[in-house]
Amino acid sequence: MSSSIKNDWVLKVENLTKIYGSYSDETIALTGPQRGTNICPITGSIVACANISFELYPGEVLGIVGESGSGKSTIVKQLFFDMEVTNGNAYLKPYKNGTVNILTESNQKKRYMRNHLMGMVYQNPRDGLNFSFTSGGNIAEKLLMADMFHVGKIRERASSLLSKTEVPVARMDDLPAYFSGGMQQRVQISKAIANNPPLLFLDEITSGLDVSVQAKVLDLIRGLQRELGIAMIVVSHDLSVIRMLTDRTLVLKDGRIVERGLTDQILQDPQHEYTQLLVSSLL
């Protein structure tokens, strides 16, 4: 079994590294969980993440958990091309059959991948939505970028996406600024999945919401995952979100992966000291 599915990944990441400031050969060795910091004592540079490697399989949901500042957003932002990488390779199966490092492609090619093959939902709806467009207009923008130009089809798709994410279709022509936080998040999700991406990043998407609204957004994500089978990376500092949504989990500390495993194993038999601490605070 392992051999037949080894090459089945949608996304493969190798040694992804992001360092802020000028650094030396020793910077990586002088930072990380053993040192208890991501700041290099010699150069003062910040190692936001280092040597991050993993594979994501079709339809799978991978969690990335860790405290604030551990490097979670840095990982997904680099993969979504929001941020330049310092080092590392990433391969996306639907792009040139996974044979080229997407991180070193031209900006034009990166735009193509963002528009056609990926989606991102940010913690702050303002990062994913254009607040001067209506909710329908935001979805239209994404569809236009993914080369759908027929106005009638765009409106049809926008209204079907909004109803899928339980945003009243009557509010399609309203500005998201007048929506509740939970509804803004739903519009952002509609926009992120508008191009039917095989890969979706979700960065702390419920962190700014009331608990009751959080639950509904999580239900929505679970339903979409089931229905559309999109591979997802779910970033959260909250293990209960990870428990509810993910199959596998990476535990991050000071920019490094300290433990990885099946989510139920991470929660019930955590191996690393830091993971044990995280899990005990959940109970």
Partner 1 sequence: MATILEVKNLRKFFHLYILNNKQIEALTDVEFSMEEGEIVGLTGKSGSGKSTLMKTIYRTYLANEGEINYLSSASGIVDLVTANEHTVLELRRKEITYCSQFLKVIPRVTAVDVVADPIVKKESDRILAREVATELIQKLGLPKELWDAFPSTFSGGEQQRINIAHAIISKPRFLLVDEPTASLDAKTKDIVIELILDLKKQGTSVLLITHDEYTLSNLADKIVHLQHGRIVEQTYA
Ligand X SMILES: Nc1ncnc2c1ncn2[C@@H]1O[C@H](COP(=O)(O)OP(=O)(O)O)[C@@H](O)[C@H]1O
Residues that bind ligand X (CB under 6 A): 20, 38, 46, 48, 66, 68-74, 268-269
Residue nearest to Mg ion (CB): 73
Question: Toward ligand X, which CB reaches closer, 3 or 68?
Answer: 68
Could you give the angle at the alpha carbon of 135 between the alpha carbons of 132 and 140, nearest 5°? 95
* 96 touches partner 1 (CB under 8 A): no
Structure tokens at 101: 């490092």
Could you say which of 19, 47, 60, 73 contacts partner 1 (CB under 8 A)? 60
> Within 56-95, which residues bind Mg ion (CB under 5 A)?
73
Contact 236, 204 (CB under 8 A): yes
What string marks each residue from 15 to 54 as x (binds partner 1 by CB under 8 A) or -? ----------------------------------------
Q: Comparing C-alpha atoms, which of 167, 160, 278 is closest to residue 217?
A: 167
Binder of residue 264, out of partner 1, ligand X, Mg ion, none (CB less than 5 to 8 A by kind): partner 1
Give 102: exposed, middle or buried? Use CB within 10 Å, 0-12, 13-18, 19+.
buried
Q: How far is residue 185's CA from residue 179's CA, in Å, rounded to a whole number?
A: 9
- What contacts 57, CB < 8 A, 6 or more positions away? 5, 8, 9, 10, 231
Binder of residue 227, out of ligand X, partner 1, Mg ion, none (CB less than 5 to 8 A by kind): partner 1
The nearest distance, CB 191 to partner 1, in angstroms, is 22
Residue identified by tokens 């150069």 is 43
Binder of residue 265, out of ligand X, Mg ion, partner 1, none (CB less than 5 to 8 A by kind): partner 1
Binder of residue 46, out of Mg ion, ligand X, partner 1, none (CB less than 5 to 8 A by kind): ligand X
Pairing type for strands 11-20 and 46-56 reads antiparallel
Binding residues for Mg ion, rule: CB under 5 A, are 73
